[in-house]
Amino acid sequence: MNTGSDSGSRLLAGTFGLAMVVEQVADAHVQRICREGVIELLVKVPHHGGTLDWLDALPDLVGLCLSATRCVVDGVERRRVFGAPEWNCIRGLRNLRYLRLVGDATDELDLGVFPHLLSYSGPWWPGLRGLDVHPPAEVILMHPSARKGFQVRGDNLRRLWVHAPDMPDLAWLKGCSGLRELAVLGVSKMASTNGVEQLRSIEAVGLFGLTKLVDVSALAALPQLVRLRIDDCPRLASFRLAADAPLQVLQLVGRTSVADGQLRWLLSLPHLREVALAGKRHYDVSKADLPRAAEPGDGFFSTGGLVLPMVPLADLQSGKVAPRAWMHGAGG
């Protein structure tokens, strides 16, 4: 760790308390963190060299974001790989409520060492065959691969976002009976939503940028689905839910297209109150026929996004941001 000054850092209002953003941690930063009572930390770590040993002096952190910088080596873009040395330092932070790792990864990840963890965002460790989540939690997985034979387990897992999954369907979710919100993002091999019918408690589903997705018929088997967003999924063969479906908010937006064009059945859904529809000429219903348009914004899911927000402390003190605005989704 560097022993320089605490310049290059700034204080923010975090989700749970005072937060600091710092370019590269020095002794002076650690001293300031302890002196000011900082409990959330966002650090840019270099693409190579240096350690995270300084975390040993900060056992009270409740939020940590490590963002690896990128570099170009021999014409190839690279960034920090989080492996066993980094994980051995992170795992000592038993008070963490959220953890975000931006970078690549090796070795295994055990979120079970954090009894209070509410949110994890980061890579799927290549050596990991399963993720067992103990507390009620929300998780973002980056680029999981079906080749690893993975399963996600945890009856207490409430919110899950998966980025760029390499899998044909959602059968791997069978261990997540308590899941309430699911978002699948990024171009993938997913051609069907088969497997989602196992999630009997799910209330919100978002499908984003799944360019090979054709079959979404399994969505009709979800008895508590009230919010559905299908965004930039251009190859849907058809889309239909049960006549008594509890759906309240529907967004078929971006490049999403339903090939058979049969959407008039939406008019008879008993609870549907908001619709955002990217209209197509071949559809048998127009936007004017449907309930008032819902704007497809960040608040679609109850957390407003799973990466817990940080706002400038001055904005909080000046009243520009209400305390509840940045506490939204903090829970627990």
pLDDT tens track for 30-82 = 999 999 999 999 898 876 667 899 999 999 999 998 887 776 667 776 666 77
Q: How confident is the model at residue 146 (pLDDT cuts 50, 70, 90)?
A: low
Where do the domains of the chain lie, and which CATH numbers do they carry? Answer: 1-107 (no CATH), 123-296+305-313 (3.80.10.10)
Task: Choose between 187 and 9: higher pLDDT.
Answer: 9
Q: Which two tokens stand for residue 260?
A: 């058979």
- Give me the numbers of helices (H) and strands (E) for the chain, helices first please: 4, 20
Instruction: Report the alpha-carbon distance of residue 78 to residue 290 in Å, rounded.
Output: 48
Report the run of H or E that residue 275 belongs to, with start and end: strand 274-277
The pTM for the full model equals 0.68
3-state secondary structure of 19: strand
pLDDT at 295 over 90: no
> Among residues 12, 20, 98, 91, which one has the least CA distance to residue 332?
98
